């Protein structure tokens, strides 16, 4: 399959129901934020979930935070580890190395109402060191190799979808607090000094003081200037 996200978009446009999950053994055209190539070989878990949440589009960025919480909790439980943390906006780290990336996309109808959202999730489950491209080999990790386990991608998927379903239902019923409280416990971003980048260019530097309900980070620099960012990415210092 070229891309689970691309397949999910096509299926969503044809009316696929909420909760549809598309899984690939590998992707030939997987990509992350800003269309960066996402290496997706055999041994990884590559999947996309179709959602149709009836919420204000203003808060749609919470879906990415929700997915990060669900994956983090599932991996922590399955692998019996507390060393998985969420890095804003869409990465999960194990001992500082990336083990998961999340890419969410949103489509509104002609009335500005959410038609569908898709959440693409890639997890390095059973990759070997040789499976990682040279440019990410030093910053990426595989769960099984790092934690000396032998779980299959199907087992990891089942654990993630269990946590995702529970948290998603609570979020729709109770609102943002359900996700934000869990995210605060699991993140490695708030309180850290970061460089905020857009298209690989540093646009601001400071300490992250919070993440708001729209999914934006709040950053305060040394001069006391506070800015929020709901785009770009960060480098933690």
Residues of the chain with CATH 2.30.30: 193-236
Give the CATH number of domain 193-236.
2.30.30
Q: What is the pLDDT of residue 133?
A: 86
Is 168 exposed, middle or buried, given 0-12, 13-18 or 19+ CB atoms closer than 10 A?
buried
CA atoms of 166 and 211, how far apart (whole Å): 22
Q: What is the pLDDT of residue 28?
A: 79
Mean pLDDT of 182-201: 96
Question: Tens of pLDDT along 45-90?
Answer: 999 999 999 999 999 999 999 999 999 999 999 999 999 999 999 9
H or E segment to which residue 236 belongs: strand 233-236
Phi, psi of 33 (to 5 degrees): -60, 150
Residues of the chain with CATH 3.30.930.10: 4-186
Q: What is the pLDDT of residue 45?
A: 98
Q: What is the pLDDT of residue 208?
A: 98
Phi, psi of 187 (to 5 degrees): -85, 160
Query: Minimal CA–CA distance to 231: which of 69, 67, 61?
Result: 61
Q: What is the pLDDT of residue 60?
A: 94
Tokens of 61: 């960025």
153, pLDDT greater than 70: yes
35, pLDDT greater than 60: no
Question: Tens of pLDDT along 116-140?
Answer: 999 999 999 999 988 998 888 899 9
For residues 27 and 109, is the Cβ–Cβ distance under 8 A?
Answer: no
33, pLDDT greater than 80: no
User: Which residues, in sequence order, are bridge partners of residue 25?
Assistant: none
Question: Tens of pLDDT along 141-150?
Answer: 999 999 999 9
CA atoms of 63 and 194, how far apart (whole Å): 23
H or E segment to which residue 226 belongs: strand 226-229
Q: In CATH, what class is 4-186?
A: alpha beta
Stated pTM of the model: 0.94
CA atoms of 72 and 19, how far apart (whole Å): 20
Mean pLDDT computed over every residue of the chain: 94
Torsion angle of the four alpha carbons 169, 88, 121, 15, in this order, in degrees rounded to the nearest 10:
50
34, pLDDT greater than 90: no
CA atoms of 232 and 226, how far apart (whole Å): 16
Q: What is the pLDDT of residue 237?
A: 81
Q: What is the pLDDT of residue 30?
A: 57
């Amino acid at each position: 399959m070229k891309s689970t996200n691309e397949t999910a978009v096509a299926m969503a446009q044809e009316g696929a129901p909420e909760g549809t999950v598309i899984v690939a053994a590998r992707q030939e055209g997987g990509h992350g934020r800003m269309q960066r190539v996402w290496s997706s070989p055999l041994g990884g878990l590559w999947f996309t979930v179709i959602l149709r949440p009836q919420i204000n589009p203003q808060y749609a960025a919470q879906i990415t935070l929700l997915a990060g919480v669900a994956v983090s909790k599932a991996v922590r439980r399955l692998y019996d580890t507390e060393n998985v943390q969420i890095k804003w906006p869409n990465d999960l780290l194990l001992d500082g190395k990336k083990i998961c990336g999340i890419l969410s996309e949103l489509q509104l109808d002609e009335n500005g109402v959410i038609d569908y959202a898709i959440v693409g999730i890639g997890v390095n489950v059973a990759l070997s060191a040789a499976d990682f491209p040279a440019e990410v080999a030093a910053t990426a990790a595989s769960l099984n190799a790092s934690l000396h386990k032998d779980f299959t991608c199907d087992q990891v998927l089942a654990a993630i979808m269990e946590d995702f379903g529970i948290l998603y239902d609570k979020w729709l019923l109770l609102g943002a607090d359900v996700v934000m409280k869990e995210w605060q416990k699991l993140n490695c971003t708030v309180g850290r000094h970061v460089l905020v980048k857009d298209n690989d260019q540093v646009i601001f530097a400071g300490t992250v003081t919070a993440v708001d309900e729209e999914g934006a980070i709040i950053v305060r620099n040394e001069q006391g200037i506070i800015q929020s960012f709901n785009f770009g990415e960060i480098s933690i210092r």
